[in-house]
Copies of this chain bind each other. A is one copy, B any other.
């Protein structure tokens, strides 16, 4: 039996405390599966006095994670601090430089510094594992990095933010407004006090950027992601989507196109009878489309202390089972130096179907004018529905809902701009992209 694998855990929030507790409670089980014991020998957090409900006896305490990375008697540095900057970045870098394996759940750190950290890990011959950084307990990193070796991926998309999916699910099931659902999500602890990072799509974008690199063999580029959040989604959109056979999800999508790789995060209509459309509440889902394997969809918990700790533990177990000191699996699926530069496909070249909902003045000729603008931009309509006229006698308005066949973002933008300048549109039109499996 090999020596125990010694772990240092930096960050004792929900995930860190859960991880320390689980490793302590399941010593025997872990030793049987991994062929060696796993032992937390060091921890680091800001507040030494806080009761985290776990027994930290026998572990060396470090106030500073950088100090732990440099000096603790450990084989693996587990980073659960969060954030792209300090102290996470410096501590992880120091740990890798020292030749420690690193496990992290930090999507922001990887989205910003993933390639450099992967290169450093490879140079030092250690593992950099980060299953928990994307979609929590769903083993999508392992699937991309290991199971799909040799495949060419054409598209990857998913529901990767539980807060948004919870809000959209509640809006649909309970017929509540976005704001009401957000307030409830905050009350239940599913949304932060400042929810903008989740609901505007940044969180999904960070995760998508990591998956894009793994899927397409390119460098990570999270500043090149087209991003729209869900705060503009209304009951009217949800109802119209249902009538047309769709549900609205916040998707992150990365797709290989002729012009490069598209990366986009936006509210999306998905056909009601698809598997991903049935993924409700805080649950996450990631779909991978590849040329040899075909389509793979994974559904599971995207967050939560235990689910995230389980993913971290899986990463630690992989290290325990590997030969000490020998890095074998490149962090981003191929050596960092072989990653191609990210070539961004322009959003206006995006091709797909669109849902367009507009409130227009109710007068003769408006529908004809709309139809002409669509035709001018080569947009073919799958359906057009006119909803009942608004009760205002002075200035009657009506709602027009259109679903287009596949067209381009540029065409839709041009058509909408032209209609806006025509003067019959009462308020900013709602445009939602459609994604089909």
Which positions in A face B, CB cutoff 8 Å?
Answer: 22-23, 26, 29-30, 32-35, 131, 137-139, 142-143, 146-152, 273-275, 277-279, 290, 292-301, 304, 306-307, 309-311, 313-314, 317-318, 321-323, 326, 328-330, 333-335, 338
Contact = CB atoms under 8 A, between A and B. Distances in A.
Contacts of A149: 30, 33-34, 313-314, 317
Q: Top 10 nearest A-B pairs by Cβ distance? A: A149-B317, A293-B310, A292-B310, A296-B300, A139-B147, A297-B299, A147-B314, A137-B293, A294-B301, A321-B328
A334 B151 contact: no
Nearest to A137: B293
A317 B151 contact: no
A143 B300 CA distance: 12
Nearest to A294: B301
9 contacts: A32-B338, A35-B328, A35-B335, A137-B294, A149-B317, A292-B306, A294-B304, A321-B328, A323-B323
Given A139-B143, A147-B311, A148-B314, A329 B321 contact: yes
Given A292-B309, A321-B328, A299 B301 contact: no
A34 B327 CA distance: 12
Nearest to A339: B32
B32 A334 contact: yes
A293 B306 CA distance: 6
A330 B32 CA distance: 10
A143 B141 CA distance: 11
Nearest to A287: B299
Contact of A323 (B148, B151, B277, B326): B326
A150 B26 contact: yes
Contacts of A30: 149-150
A363 B146 CA distance: 64
Contacts of A279: 275
Nearest to A309: B292
A148 B314 CA distance: 6
Contacts of A273: 278
B318 A146 contact: yes
Contacts of A307: 292-294
A100 B33 CA distance: 22
With most chain B CB atoms within 10 A of its CB, the pick from A147, A300, A322, A326 is: A147
Contact of A142 (B32, B34, B139, B310): B139
A138 B300 CA distance: 15
Nearest to A300: B296
A338 B28 CA distance: 12
A313 B147 CA distance: 8
B300 A295 contact: yes
Contacts of A317: 146, 149-150
Contact of A150 (B33, B150, B299, B304): B33
A142 B147 CA distance: 8
With most chain B CB atoms within 10 A of its CB, the pick from A293, A296, A310, A323 is: A293
Contacts of A278: 273-275, 277-278
Contacts of A326: 323
Contacts of A290: 310
A131 B150 contact: no
Given A292-B309, A298-B299, A321-B329, 9 more contacts: A33-B150, A137-B294, A137-B296, A149-B317, A293-B306, A293-B307, A293-B311, A294-B301, A323-B323
A32 B137 contact: no
A148 B292 contact: no
Contacts of A329: 321
A293 to B, nearest CB: 4
A336 to B, nearest CB: 11
A293 B298 contact: no
